Every structure is written in C-alpha cells, then in structure tokens.
Chain A
Amino acid sequence: QVQLVQSGSELKKPGASVKVSCKTSGYTFSSYAMNWLRQAPGQGLEWMGWINTNTRNPSYAQGFTGRFVFSLDTSVSTAYLQITSLKAEDTAVYYCARRMAAAGTWWFDPWGQGTLVTVSS
C-alpha cells in the first residue's frame, strides 16, 4: 500500500537547522508531486509548497521562502524539508503529502504521519 513515513520528532535551539525526511513506498515516486504542510499547535493546516518529483523544481508558498528548502533523493524515493535559522514560531508538526489530481483539482492523499519540530532555547 502507499505509505509516506517521516522522520522522528526534533528539538532544536533557535538559529539551528533541521532536516525532515519523508520516505515513500508503494507507488512510483516520480509520478506524483510531493507537498509539504504545517500545523502549528492547536491551529489549522497551512500549505508550504511542493516539489516536482520529475524536474526537482520546488515551489514555495508565500511566507515559506528563504529559510525553507525542499529536496529529493529519487534513488530512495524520499523527499526532504530543510528549515534553517529556526525560530520559536517554526514550532509545528510538519507533514509531507502526495498530491492527487483530477480534472483541474488537486488534493492530498496520503499524508505522512507528521514530524513535530520544537524550537526552544
């Protein structure tokens, strides 16, 4: 079955960097775009952007440029999210999600289990 398995929780100090992995299985990695979403504690879902798994071209949503980097290792069907210069407000659960498409619309299925990144001194 299709699975997205993310790396474990991280506790980082302000100013540090973190790299979250999203290992996929059960489907052809290059056939679907990979998206990243964030959920701050007690808040809703926020889309961060996506990466084209064919061209490796990333696209970042407003508010997620500069410190956020999406990358791939196609040899192991894995996507990565790196965040640099971490701030307390980056504390959130980060999700990877496969993007599904049909007739001009897109949705996310499935999602990784989420990675909690806590930024605290």
Chain B
Amino acid sequence: SYVLTQPPSVSVAPGQTARITCGGNNIGSKSVHWYQQKPGQAPVVVVYDDSDRPSGIPERFSGSNSGNTATLTISRVEAGDEADYYCQVWASSSDHPIFGGGTKLTVL
C-alpha cells in the first residue's frame, strides 16, 4: 500500500522559514493536502490540492509537489504556528485517504 513519510519533527526560529516534507513514491502525480493540528484542537486544512489555500489561511503557508516529495512551506514563522502537520493524499486504487505520520513543528 502507498506510504507517506514525514519527519517526526522540525524546529525553526521565529521569523524564519519552515519546510515540512512529505515523501511518497511518485507523489508528484497525486494531489497533496496539508492539515495543521494545534494541541487539543481538530485538524484544519491549510493547503489543498498541492498549493491552494482555503480562505482565511495566511499567505505565509504555501505548498509544492514534485517527484517523490511534497513540501509545506511556512514563511515568517510565528509562535502560533507551533503544531502538528499532516499530509494527505487520496489513494484512487483503493478509494481511501492516506495520511502521513505527522510532523511536530517547534518554534524555538
């Protein structure tokens, strides 16, 4: 079955750029969605379909997807961005979603 691999943790200083990766076999051929989950809260989609942002999500959040890696980029990181981030694709062959294991973003 298809597997999405995320680093368990990423650390970044305030004001810097955080990049969270999501690896998968030829993931560039799929659409990738990213969720932010703050402690004690439900996940919120921050990027969908590789690089689209829902209304209300700051432009600091952006996504890209090519080859075997999709990337969520958070520019000018703020303390409030500290959260777990999950990538997700839809496995068309089995018609179900697949989630990455999640990445904990720590703002130093």
Contact = CB atoms under 8 A, between A and B. Distances in A.
B88 A107 contact: yes
Nearest to A62: B96
Contact of A61 (B90, B92, B96): B96
Contacts of B31: 102-105
B90 A44 contact: no
Contacts of A105: 30-31, 33, 49, 89-90
A24 to B, nearest CB: 14
Interface string B54-81: 1000000000000000000000000000
Given A44-B86, A105-B49, A111 B101 contact: no
Interface residues of B, number: 23
In terms of DSSP, what is the predominant structure of the interface of chain A? strand
Given A47-B96, A107-B33, A100 B42 contact: no
B28 interface: no
Interface in B87-108: 88-90, 92, 96-97, 99-102
A108 interface: yes
Given A104-B92, A112-B42, A45 B48 contact: no
Given A45-B43, A104-B92, A109 B48 contact: yes
B44 interface: yes
Contacts of A111: 42-44
B45 interface: yes
Contact of B97 (A106, A109, A112): A106
| Size bin of chain A's contact surface | 20 to 34
Given A45-B86, A61-B96, A104-B92, A109 B45 contact: yes
A47 B99 CA distance: 9
Contacts of A45: 35, 43, 86, 88, 99, 102
A44 B89 CA distance: 15
Contacts of B100: 44
A109 B101 CA distance: 19
Interface of A: 44-47, 61, 95, 100, 102-114
